[in-house]
């Protein structure tokens, strides 16, 4: 919980920045420009900023290709043949996993499908998928099409958990109760980690426990959680998870996706999956023989050889995370988002204009605050845009602000709220 006595002043924000142990990382990123100045960038939940190091990571691989052609697979410090392995230690740290439990491959929605191929195997008695209502559309489409692919009716097979009337976010007790209710018929619980719209961080450990208690698999889409909140996927006993790398993980547009598969599944070669040569036992891969023998761990779910340029960009950013460390980022994140909340509530004192739908409890949110606006919301958003703020607008009337601890600072938050104040004047 936050114990900092916040003050609504520029001097306070500046002092917080001066004592921020992560402040040096801000200068490792490029900021979009507005009127010759850095934008106030609050959109790292949508697309993280470009690390200045990304270019050299990609250029190194271009050079490697230029110099070695196909031999690049086996030569140099980072032979392409093993490229996915160079992302494993840092990815494991970001999501709280063993190295063997993670692998970077494909893109997020593709991986959701691949994971459901393994972990959604409906039977006559157990066929339901439980998810949060208002999940990201791609997840809804993926789940619905999987259900239909198995010849089932989405209206019967998909259970969506919605907030209570008059509430914006889910209560953990309701989630757990509904999973219990449908328990006997549930094949899979598939939840977001942090909901993209409300910013609510679900209790993944409790959801996993109750899901297992009723005999279902439990998986998470961590697109808005990876690099944002502290995760302990291994200890929480999560069955599987997947995330993208271009939001909080700054790997650039369309960047690759990460996958987590708990070791108790990763070490089970009998588990059904869609296979490809890169998931095949690497010691025999180039014998090109018939008969798929999976690698142990999440690596056994790989299909294709690594997409070197996008993986290189991902490495650039993961190396920054390895220096900053998730616990330090999370600590700053709670303070920074708490400060934004404090200043918004201050603006509300005169005239109630901003209704924050993201939970108040820091344990139930990441860095993002979703603000429900009044009827002038769209004008406010446009006003912010013309004044160099990059945030985003979600229909019907929500503005999402994500102060990202890796490159945002307290002065950014202060300046944003000064603009919000001037709009009302």
Task: Give the whole-angstrom CA distance, residue 316 versus residue 187.
Answer: 38
Taking the least distance from each CB to ligand PLP, the nearer of 221 and 341 is 221
Enumerate binding residues for ligand PLP (CB under 6 A). 107-109, 136, 138-139, 192, 196, 221, 223-224, 244
Task: Give the whole-angstrom CA distance, residue 409 versus residue 31.
Answer: 13
Can you read off the two tokens belonging to residue 97?
A: 């996993």
Task: Give the whole-angstrom CA distance, residue 177 versus residue 29.
Answer: 44
Taking the least distance from each CB to ligand PLP, the nearer of 138 and 267 is 138
CB of 196 to ligand PLP, least distance (A): 4
Task: Give the whole-angstrom CA distance, residue 361 versus residue 365.
Answer: 7
Can you read off the two tokens belonging to residue 72?
A: 């690049």
CB of 198 to ligand PLP, least distance (A): 12
DSSP 8-state assignment for residue 316: H
CB of 326 to ligand PLP, least distance (A): 19
Burial of 379 (0-12, 13-18, 19+ CB in 10 A): exposed
Taking the least distance from each CB to ligand PLP, the nearer of 62 and 162 is 162
CB of 285 to ligand PLP, least distance (A): 27
Taking the least distance from each CB to ligand PLP, the nearer of 224 and 314 is 224
CB of 349 to ligand PLP, least distance (A): 33
Task: Give the whole-angstrom CA distance, residue 52 versus residue 29.
Answer: 5
CB of 191 to ligand PLP, least distance (A): 10
Rg (alpha carbons) of the chain, rounded to whole number: 22
Task: Give the whole-angstrom CA distance, residue 63 versus residue 56.
Answer: 10
Taking the least distance from each CB to ligand PLP, the nearer of 61 and 139 is 139
Task: Give the whole-angstrom CA distance, residue 191 versus residue 334.
Answer: 23
Taking the least distance from each CB to ligand PLP, the nearer of 114 and 178 is 114
């Amino acid at each position: 919980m936050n114990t900092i006595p916040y003050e609504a002043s520029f001097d306070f924000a500046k002092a917080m920045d001066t004592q921020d142990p992560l402040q040096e990382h801000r200068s490792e990123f490029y900021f979009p420009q507005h009127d010759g100045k850095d934008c106030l960038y609050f959109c790292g939940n949508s697309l993280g900023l470009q690390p200045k190091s990304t270019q050299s990571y990609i250029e190194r691989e271009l050079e490697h290709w230029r110099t070695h052609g196909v031999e690049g697979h086996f030569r140099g410090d980072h032979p392409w043949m093993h490229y996915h392995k160079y992302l494993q230690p840092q990815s494991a740290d970001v999501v709280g996993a063993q190295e063997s439990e993670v692998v970077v491959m494909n893109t997020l929605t593709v991986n959701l499908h691949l994971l459901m191929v393994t972990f959604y195997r409906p039977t006559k008695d157990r066929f339901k998928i439980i998810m949060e209502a208002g999940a990201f559309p791609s997840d809804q489409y993926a789940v619905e099409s999987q259900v239909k692919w198995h010849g089932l009716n989405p209206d019967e097979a998909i259970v969506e958990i919605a907030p209570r009337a008059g509430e914006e976010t889910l209560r953990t007790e309701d989630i757990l109760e509904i999973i219990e209710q449908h328990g006997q018929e549930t094949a899979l619980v598939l939840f977001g980690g942090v909901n993209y719209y409300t910013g609510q961080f679900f209790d993944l450990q409790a959801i996993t426990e109750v899901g297992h208690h009723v005999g279902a698999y439990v998986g998470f889409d961590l697109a808005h959680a990876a690099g944002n909140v502290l995760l302990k996927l291994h200890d929480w006993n999560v069955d599987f998870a997947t995330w993208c790398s271009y939001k909080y993980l700054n790997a650039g547009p369309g960047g690759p996706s990460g996958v987590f598969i708990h070791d108790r599944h990763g070490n089970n070669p009998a588990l059904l999956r869609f296979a490809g040569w890169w998931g095949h036992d690497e010691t025999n891969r180039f014998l090109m023989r018939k008969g798929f023998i999976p690698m142990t761990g999440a690596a056994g779910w790989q299909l294709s050889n690594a997409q070197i340029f996008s993986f290189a960009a991902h490495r650039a950013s993961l190396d920054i995370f390895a220096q900053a460390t998730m616990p330090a980022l999370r600590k700053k994140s709670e303070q920074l988002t708490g400060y934004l909340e404090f200043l918004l509530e201050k603006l509300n004192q005169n005239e109630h204009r901003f209704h924050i739908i993201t939970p108040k409890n820091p344990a139930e949110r990441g860095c993002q605050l979703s603000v429900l606006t009044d009827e002038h919301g769209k004008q406010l958003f446009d006003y912010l845009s013309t004044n160099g703020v990059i945030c985003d607008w979600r229909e019907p009337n929500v503005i999402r602000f994500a102060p990202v601890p890796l490159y945002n600072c307290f002065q950014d938050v202060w300046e944003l709220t000064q603009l919000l104040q001037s709009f009302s004047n």
